[in-house]
């Protein structure tokens, strides 16, 4: 079964065509340029399923549905559930969990089958706890590094946006801002690691994905694995669980 998996975020729309054994091709467009997808997808072998996580709103959802029409496949949208693909949700209302977070949890579970802190770092950063037996305990949503810098620039008179570098002891304002943002993000992840250990879980693996993962990973302690496009990995698992053997146009 060929699956066109799509992860529509606030800044980027990432997609990949999976043939059941691996990724044939992957790509992305800026969310503001969603209309480009129809041209990019026209070059692909026809998929059996087009399946999407979308956190970018209803306008983007309509544009994604339109991009899928030339493929003669109805675009299907992931909905978070109480239980799916071996993962169980502890959210008070499972349907309220972002579909991208749900897919990332499923992707992490099928890749590792053990306790994980599942992190997706982009415009925002989500930090979710997954137990030894596949239970999603809950998680955090944190402003990403760019949002933190923008908030400082918008709400202070002197801290204008500047490109800085991480340092243990920053001696320039730009470096102080860059280091503060990265330390805040790393601190949220490491606190979740600690919360899981205090809840009786074995030392969790941190599964880190997203466009902002590379600068965060070196600042973390413990076991870490960076996974490209973890949400897409989870979408493929959901597609196999939901549609294999009964795909319809």
Extract the tokens encoding 91. 């959210």
The answer to whether residue 133 is catalytic is no
Q: Two tokens at 108? A: 């992490």
Burial class, 236, CB count within 10 angstroms (exposed 0-12 / middle 13-18 / buried 19+): buried
Structure tokens at 198: 């205090």
Largest CA distance in the chain: 60
DSSP-derived secondary structure letter, 161: -
CB-based contact 60:8 (threshold 8 Å): yes
Task: Considering the candidates 48, 92, 100, 175, report the single residue annotated as catalytic.
Answer: 100
SS3 readout for 169-236: CCCCHHHHHHHHHHHHHHHHHHHHHHHHHHCCCCCCEEEEECCCHHHHHHHCCCCEEECCCHHHHHHH
Alpha-carbon distance 128 to 206, whole Å? 10
Give the burial class of 224: count Cβ atoms within 10 A of its Cβ; 0-12 exposed, 13-18 middle, 19 or more buried: middle
At 87, phi and psi to the nearest 5? -110, 135
Residues involved in catalysis: 100
């Amino acid at each position: 079964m060929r699956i066109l998996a799509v992860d529509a975020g606030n800044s980027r729309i990432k997609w990949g065509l999976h043939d059941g054994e691996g990724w044939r091709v992957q790509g992305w467009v800026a969310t503001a340029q969603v209309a480009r997808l129809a041209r990019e997808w026209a070059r692909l072998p026809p998929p059996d399923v087009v399946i999407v996580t979308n956190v970018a709103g209803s306008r983007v959802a309509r544009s994604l549905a339109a991009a899928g029409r030339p493929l003669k496949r109805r675009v299907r949208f992931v909905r978070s559930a109480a239980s799916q693909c071996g993962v169980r949700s502890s959210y008070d209302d499972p349907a309220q969990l972002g579909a991208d977070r749900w897919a990332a949890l499923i992707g992490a579970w099928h890749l590792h089958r053990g306790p994980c802190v599942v992190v997706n770092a982009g415009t925002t950063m989500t930090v979710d706890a997954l137990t030894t037996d596949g239970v999603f305990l809950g998680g955090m949503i944190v402003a990403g590094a760019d949002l933190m810098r923008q908030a400082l620039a918008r709400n202070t008179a002197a801290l204008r946006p500047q490109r800085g570098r991480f340092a243990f002891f920053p001696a320039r304002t730009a470096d102080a801002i860059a280091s503060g943002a990265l330390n805040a993000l790393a601190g949220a992840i490491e606190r979740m690691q600690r919360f899981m250990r205090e809840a009786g879980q074995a030392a969790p693996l941190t599964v880190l994905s997203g466009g902002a993962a590379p600068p965060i990973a070196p600042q973390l302690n413990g076991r870490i694995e960076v996974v490209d496009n973890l949400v897409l990995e989870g979408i493929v698992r959901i597609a196999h669980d939901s549609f294999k053997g009964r795909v319809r146009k």
